[in-house]
Amino acid sequence: MNTLQSSLLEKEISSSIVINDIISSLNNKLNLGNFPTEIHGFQGSITGFFLNQYVKKYKKDIYLVLPSEKEVMDLKTDLESTSFDGEILILPWWGSVPYRSVAKGSVIFGQRAAVLAKRATTSEKPRIFLIPQRSFMTPVAAPEYSK
């Protein structure tokens, strides 16, 4: 089995003209207010390398909505393998059946509040917020409420 060190792969990706053009194009779309912007076509863990390059170049927080918790955990692993030097935050879903109460002392309240509080603040280091679609569909308070 042949393996390629991630540092070598990261160097190749960062020097790729095609990847840099894609990163610039994505940033232009986001600056023009084109939300949501869909990133697709990457296979395997290359998405983690791409996002790492984007964040390194533009130093912006990114909010990503992914189909399920499995994709969130896979992308988190991919980002960690790219030596991402920012913070990776996951907004967990409630873990309950819709319209059913959650236990008052449930740890999920603190986990969600911590991520929402960080969303309301600024950071020196870039952050990537990974949000499963179930969490994204759940209404949250305005950022001012979390400060």
pTM across the whole model: 0.74
Tell me what percent of the residues of the chain surpass a pLDDT of 90.
14
Question: How high does pLDDT run on average in the chain?
Answer: 79
Straight-line distance from the first to the last Cα atom of the chain, in angstroms, rounded to the nearest whole number: 50
Looking at the predicted structure, is the pLDDT value of residue 7 above 70?
Answer: no
Report yes or no: 37 and 29 within 8 Å, Cβ to Cβ: yes
Ramachandran category for residue 48: left, alpha or beta (phi over 0 → left; psi -120 to 50 → alpha): alpha
Nearest CA among 91, 82, 98 for reference residue 131: 91
pLDDT in tens, 25-76: 777 777 777 667 777 777 777 788 888 888 887 788 888 889 999 999 998 9
